Amino acid sequence: CIAKLLFVTTLLILLLIILYSVKRKETQFTFDSFDNVTGSSYKIIPNTIHYIMFGSSSLNFISFLSVISAIKIQQGNVWIHCDCSELSGYYWSLVVSLSSLSRVPVKVSFMRRPTHVYGQPLSSVYHSSDVARIQVLMESGGIYLDTDMVVLQPLDQFLHYEMVVGWPYKEYFGNQIMIGHPKARFLQKYLESYRRYLPREWYYNGGQVPTEQILTRLPHLVHRVPELFGVHNLVDRLYGSGQWVAWRRYHAVHLLSRHHVDPGELNETTVRQYNRPFGEIARWLLYQVRPTLDVERGTWVE
């Protein structure tokens, strides 16, 4: 009996030593010599999709499309960071049922809206979201998506890099989608760049500064995706009258829901007759990628 107790105790001690060693290696790990062109042979970024929602406790049609694209296409754990205790409404109920049917977890995580950055008051909920998305990735890593980004192809190939951004040539990078390891060097520098915060400038700290002062000088910190993250201005392509079949090549696309000319009240029913590329994308997500939506019953069909 004593010998058995000694054996178990020895095993526990060895296990604790191993756990301590692993934890220490994780703490000491850096990306100093990492190659963001070739990446790692294995995934180093968790397949977790993060959204930030401040000032709202329900989904609209566009954010609904975004979340179901993450569930259907990316099939990773979805975390909605919200300054509310829970979400509600028709679209949220559809997300919950899709999550259950697809066995893809979707969780609401309370997050207090940042009001200051380095002691400086943030001027809008949009700037609060800009800061929060950096903080979330630095805390747990994964895939950050704006609520008007839709995933069109699985993003797994990008989980092998330290940091991945959509950075069109001769333009600022787009923070509407960011894929990163929590220890990514770019994230720390990005957050620190807010020490000089200009509250009246819409995209100065969000896109201009990180592009001009970090990415242009240190491009090796990220894996660059020039086009296929769809963060450049695609208003005319998405909402114009011409065809745009190239969207099928994209990994993701920014729907520019706050910037395009309002196409009117679009929802899962009226989008059936919306004869624009955006309508084609929405119908594909709703009615072609399984599970598909049965509008009349308000259910999903495998």
Q: What is the pLDDT of residue 198?
A: 98
Handedness of CA 286, 288, 289, 295 (dihedral sign): positive
User: What pLDDT band is residue 9 in, cutting at 50, 70 and 90?
Assistant: confident
3-state secondary structure of 51: strand
Q: Name which of 262, 244, 62 is nearest 145 in CA terms.
A: 62
Q: Is the model's pLDDT at 286 over the cut of 60?
A: yes
User: What pLDDT band is residue 69 in, cutting at 50, 70 and 90?
Assistant: very high
What is the tens place of the pLDDT at every residue in 189-198?
999 999 999 9
Q: Is the model's pLDDT at 1 over the cut of 80?
A: no
User: What pLDDT band is residue 275 in, cutting at 50, 70 and 90?
Assistant: very high
Task: Kindly list the structural domains of the chain, giving each domain's residue range(s) and its CATH number in brackets, ordered by start.
Answer: 48-225 (3.90.550.20), 235-297 (no CATH)
1 vs 33, more confident = 33
DSSP string, 80-93: EEESSS--BSHHHH
CA distance 242 to 222: 34
Buried b (16+ CB within 10 A) or exposed e, 115-139: eebeeeebeebebbbbbbbbbbbbe
122 vs 260, more confident = 122
Q: What is the pLDDT of residue 260?
A: 59
Q: What is the pLDDT of residue 10?
A: 80
What is the tens place of the pLDDT at every residue in 124-133?
999 999 999 9
Q: What is the pLDDT of residue 250?
A: 99
Question: pTM (2 decimals)?
Answer: 0.90
Q: Is the model's pLDDT at 20 over the cut of 70?
A: no
Structure tokens at 209: 């500064």
